[in-house]
Structures are given as C-alpha cells and as structure tokens.
C-alpha cells in the first residue's frame, strides 16, 4: 500500500482539505526518507517499529522543529498506520504508543470590539471599488465568522441580501447558512454595484479589479493592513476575526450551540475554547472596574 493510495483515501473518501492532504504527504515522505536513508533501501512498512518513530522524533528535535510541528507529523504517521491496519497490511501501529509532549493551551488572539468599531464606523464617502471591497472583507469576516477559504469560495449566488444570509461551503464539503445584519447587506449591495461597473458580471463574489477570483494572500493582506490602522494587536490575520466573532457573540449572550453552528464546528469541544476567552475577559474587566479588586490581602 503506497502513500499515494492513503492520500487518495483521505482526500476522496474522508474529504479532508487539500491543505491537510499536502501536509500528510510531506510528513509521511519525510518519515519514509528517514527510515530508508533517503531512498538507499526500500521501505518495508510492516517492519517499522516504535523505535524508528522515536528516533525520528529525536532527529526532528535536533533540527530545531517545534513541538507542535512534531506532534502533527506523528499524528499523520498514526493515521497512516491505522489505515494500513484496516487494509490488513500491518498488524501493529508503531506510532500508537509514542507519547507526545503536551502543548500549552493557547487562547485565541482577538481584536477589541472598540477597535473594530472604529474601523468599520469610519466613513466610506467617495470610496472606490477596492476601498469598499476591502471594508466588506473585514466586515463579513467579523460579522459572520466564516473562514478565509469559505470567503474566497463564495459564489455571487451564495450571497442573498433579501434573505440576509450566506450559503457557505465549509470543511468536508458541508454547506451551512449564515445570517447577517442590515449594515452588511447594504455594503454588499454597494460593492456589487461597484463590481459591476468595474469588471462586469462574475460568478465569484469577491474579485480583483480585473475580475479574477480572490486568493488567500490577498485576503490576508487586506485584513492585516486594515487592522493595523486601528492597533488590532500583534496577530492581524483573517482567523483572528473569526475568533473575535465567536467571542463577541458569547459576550453578548449567544448560546454556545448557536455559535457552534454558525462557525461550522463539528462538535462543541472546538467552540468551548471561546468560553475560556470570555471568562478571561470578564476577569480583566473586573480587575479594572471594581474598586476593591486591586487591594492586596493584609
């Protein structure tokens, strides 16, 4: 059973994202090169042992690879050998019992609401196509919580201002409907008028001035430059706006399960991290606001 067949399985049957498939391919080929001396001998997967996996981890550590990256690579190896077990190629999974160092829990980075209000409430009078489009990118990511890839994948037909909703194609090719407010709807109509004048009819919703579909780096650049104007913090990526959306929803009374559905999470576990964020924010606000919070015990 080759690595390519495994990649076909996770790509076509499990419908993992192309990015994940590429990462698995790179990780598995790196391990294969390690155990075969970069092709000096054939890789007999059935003879691979836990000792081989641990030796690989040591080698990766010596190269200075971060714990998070090593953990991901070993998880890819575990998944590959699980599949080989299911196919009857091997009996044991040599990566199954390898202990990995626990990663410190990192709370998602966010932008303060007042900073985003400052950005999104600033006037757009006389703005051109690019100005309105860039404002719409930031507003849509913040007000709907969709992922960068989901925003790029939007078709014009997916954006319905009458129903005030987006039809989003998320991970594992699952569709979901995400509502939005009147302000975003008005900006969408303004953008569509300018887009029509700039480049005519298009199937893709977000486009360049030449009518080409968006690509990841342009979305990152728009968000980074926009948030930098209002001191958004050290992390100024599109995903930060998704984190901010989730935290803002919970801070203003939304139910956890509703936020889960809006984000397109498969389970509540992925959404629950934002409850820690909101509690952390609550503690900070308490310390700043309560007159006795700063007093030390006697």
Active site (catalytic) residues: 147, 171, 239, 242, 265, 274
- Give, rounded to a whole angstrom, the gap between the first and last alpha carbons of the chain: 69
**For the residues of the chain, what is the DSSP string, one character each?**
--HHHHHHIIIIIS---HHHHHHHHHHHHHHHHHHHTTTTS---GGG--HHHHHHHHHHHHHTT--HHHHHHHHHHHHHHHHHHHHTTS-S--TTTT---PPPPP-PPP---HHHHHHHHTS--TT--HHHHHHHHHHHHHHHH---HHHHHT-BGGGEETTTTEEEEE-GGG-EEEEE--HHHHHHHHHHHHHHHHHH---SBSSB-TTSPBP-HHHHHHHHHHHHHTTT--S---HHHHHHHHHHHHHHTT--HHHHHHHHT-SSHHHHHHHHHHHHHHHHHHHHHH-TTTTPPP-
């Amino acid at each position: 059973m080759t690595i390519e067949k495994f990649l076909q399985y996770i790509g076509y049957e499990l419908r993992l994202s192309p990015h994940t498939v590429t990462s698995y391919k790179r990780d598995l080929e790196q391990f294969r090169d390690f155990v075969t001396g970069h092709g000096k001998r054939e890789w007999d997967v059935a003879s691979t042992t836990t000792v081989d996996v641990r030796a690989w981890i040591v080698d990766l550590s010596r190269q200075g690879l971060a714990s998070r990256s090593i953990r991901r690579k070993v998880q890819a190896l575990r998944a590959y050998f699980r599949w080989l077990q299911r196919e009857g190629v091997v009996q044991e999974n040599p990566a199954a019992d390898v202990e990995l160092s626990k990663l410190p829990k990192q709370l998602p980075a966010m932008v303060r609401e007042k900073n985003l209000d400052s950005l999104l409430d600033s006037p757009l009078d006389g703005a051109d196509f690019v100005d309105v489009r860039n404002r719409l990118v930031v507003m849509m990511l913040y007000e709907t919580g969709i992922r960068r890839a989901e925003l790029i994948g939007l078709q014009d037909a997916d954006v319905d201002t009458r129903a005030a909703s987006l039809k989003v194609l998320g991970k594992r090719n699952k569709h979901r409907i995400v509502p939005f407010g009147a302000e975003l709807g008005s900006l969408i109509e303004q953008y569509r008028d300018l887009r029509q004048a700039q480049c005519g009819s298009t199937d893709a919703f977000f486009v360049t001035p030449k009518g080409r579909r968006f690509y990841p780096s342009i979305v990152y650049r728009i968000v980074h430059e926009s948030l930098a104007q209002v001191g958004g913090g050290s992390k100024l990526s599109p995903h930060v706006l998704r984190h901010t959306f989730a935290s803002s929803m919970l801070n203003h009374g939304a139910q956890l399960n509703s936020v889960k559905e809006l984000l397109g999470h498969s389970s509540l576990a992925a959404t629950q991290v934002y409850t820690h964020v909101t509690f952390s924010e609550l503690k900070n606000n308490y310390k700043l606001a309560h007159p006795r919070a700063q007093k030390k015990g006697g």
